[in-house]
Amino acid sequence: MLYFYEAMINNTNTRKGFVFKTYEAPFQSPFDKLFEIFKELITHTSGDFDEAIDWLRELDKEYKLTTAEYTVDDFIEDLKKKGYIKKEIDPDGNGGMAITAKTERAIRQQALDHIFGNIKRSGQGNHKSKSPGIGDEHTGDFRNYQFGDALDKVSMTESLKNAQINHGIGDFRLSEDDLVVEETLHKSQMSTVLMIDISHSMILYGEDRITPAKKVAMALAELITTRYPKDTLDIIVFGNDAWQIEIKDLPYLKVGPYHTNTVAGLQLAMDLLRRKRNTNKQIFMITDGKPSCLRLPDGQYYKDSAGLNPYITNKCYDMAQQARKLHIPITTFMIAQDPYLMQFVQEFTHANQGKAFYTGIKGLGEMIFEDYETNRKKRIRG
């Protein structure tokens, strides 16, 4: 192959073909190299700076990440100078370092890059409906002009071409029959609620399931705020109860000693979506386990960790049907793959006429992104 390549150059005096050489990674400063690792560690430690630095020092011992000229202590000083960390005093009066909003944004951007690829900022509100009509998204398709069409929708280039074809250049004139209009699509907005299961099982069996869920939430938040700024994303966590958290709280999210109150999460999600004026609404739910808890009207908790209690599951099916009546599809991303749990999800999905994906941790982000992008092209009529 090399001989052929050289002969081709000598005979034609032109350089064609491929040149193979050893891959050279793009240059990164010592700070940038450590910062990439630090952002991963701070996510795994739920925002605990001291624990993340301890892990960084251990990795440095094993993989020689630093040099005598640039140490972990130098890295910490640069974090301070660049505004990525700050000193905080806890309620007990003890001082320590904590990450700043600048770091939280950097973590979200890293999650977006890793999971969804390097998606650049684009224009506002990009959700297309499936029906053509009056709108501002060009499709490239044309139709004959109809009385009542706005004049700014008339394609002058295509209309003039029709006039030349129909009447000739010598007797040029433009009539109503020559006019054509370019089809457009409505741009609509999407309101999404992301539900994250933080029950204790999300860290059981030697598998960290909460960190991938956090990364997905951060990436989705960054995608929506940068690429679809007219869309909304609300994030709910659910254990024994359900409550809303802010995007800035995601790096610090932890699993608790909770059961799984799926009904409470769905109730809160639908309450949030009822307040939205947007037509397109959806719920994404990341969970690994069965619903095992309900809060009764008297404030007591009804729990059953042993199995799929019909009293609890029937309440879940009722909520799924309510969401269906409100034209709110629920997409369940099931991390666990136990057959009896999958059966519950199948019945839950049937009640809502939504969708379910049975997946492990790997590929969770890509699946959610693809589903979000697919759903935003649909118009859910309410």
Q: What is the DSSP letter of 154?
A: B
* 169 and 291 inside one domain: no
Identify which of 278, 361, 282, 378 has the alpha carbon closest to the alpha carbon of residue 328: 282
Cα separation, 92 vs 277, whole angstroms: 44
Give dist(CA 208, CA 188) in Å, integer. Answer: 37
Residue 317: inside a domain = yes
Could you tell me which residues come within 8 angstroms of residue 63 by beta carbon, excluding any fewer than 6 positions away? none
Q: Tell me if 13 is assigned to some domain.
A: no
Statement: residue 156 has pLDDT above 90: no
At 288-301, the pLDDT tens digits run: 878 999 999 999 99
Residues 37 and 168 in one domain: no
| Same domain assignment for residues 220 and 319 | yes
pLDDT tens digits, residue range 326-367? Answer: 999 999 988 877 888 888 999 999 999 999 988 777 778 888
pLDDT above 50: residue 241: yes
Query: pLDDT band at residue 6, thresholds of 50, 70 and 90?
Result: very low
Site of tokens 């700014």? 152
Measured between alpha carbons, how far is 180 from 150 in angstroms, rounded to an integer? 11
Domain match, 229 and 263 both: yes
289 occurs within a structural domain:
yes
Average pLDDT estimate for 24-30:
82
Instruction: Please indicate, yes or no, whether residues 142 and 284 belong to a single structural domain of this protein.
Output: no
Regarding whether 366 and 261 lie in a shared domain, the answer is yes
Q: Indicate the burial class of 229 (C-beta count within 10 angstroms; 0-12, 13-18, 19 or more).
A: middle
For residues 205 and 176, membership in a common domain is answered with: no
Three-state secondary-structure class, residue 255: coil
Same domain? For 316 and 265 the reply is yes
- Determine the straight-line distance between the first and last CA of the chain, rounded to whole angstroms: 63
- Please check whether residue 310 lies inside any domain of the structure: yes
Calculate the average pLDDT of the chain.
83
Kindly report, residue by residue over 34-45, the tens digit of the pLDDT.
Answer: 999 999 999 999
Q: Are 286 and 335 in contact (CB under 8 A)?
A: yes
Domain end (from 78, 99, 120) = 99
pLDDT class for 13, splitting at 50, 70, 90? low
In this structure, is the dihedral angle defined by the CA atoms of residues 42, 48, 104 and 362, taken in order, positive or negative?
positive
What distance in Å separates the CA atoms of residue 256 and residue 235, rounded to the nearest whole number? 17
pLDDT of the residue at 118: 42
Predicted confidence (pLDDT) at residue 207 exceeds the cutoff of 60: yes
**Is residue 1 in some structural domain?**
no
* Domain closes at, from 156, 185, 214: 185
Tens of pLDDT, residue by residue over 79-129, are 999 999 999 987 777 888 999 999 999 999 999 888 766 443 333 344 333
Give domain status of residue 233, yes or no: yes
What would the DSSP string read from start to end of 355-378? EEEE--STTHHHHHHHHHHHHTTS
**Residue 277 sits in the same domain as residue 169:** no
Q: Are residues 280 and 180 in the same domain?
A: no
Q: Model pTM greater than 0.85?
A: no
Query: Which residue, of 152, 185, 218, is where some domain finishes?
Result: 185
- Rounded Cα–Cα distance for residues 337 and 340 (Å): 9
- Give the pLDDT confidence of 54-76 residue by residue, as tens digits: 999 999 999 999 999 999 999 99
pLDDT of 378 reads 63
Which domain range does residue 141 map to? Answer: 137-185
When pLDDT is averaged across residues 246-269 and rounded to a whole number, the result is 96
Burial class (CB in 10 A: 0-12, 13-18, 19+), 259: buried
Same domain, yes or no: 71 and 146: no
CATH of the domain at 342: 3.40.50.410
Residue 309 lies in a domain: yes
At 281-330, the pLDDT tens digits run: 999 999 987 899 999 999 999 999 887 899 999 999 999 999 999 999 99
Q: Is the pLDDT of residue 225 over 80?
A: yes
Buried b (16+ CB within 10 A) or exposed e, 334-351: bbbeeeebeebbeebbeb
Asked if pLDDT for residue 170 goes beyond 80, the answer is no
Same domain for 177 and 196, yes or no, is no
Report how many domains make up the chain: 3
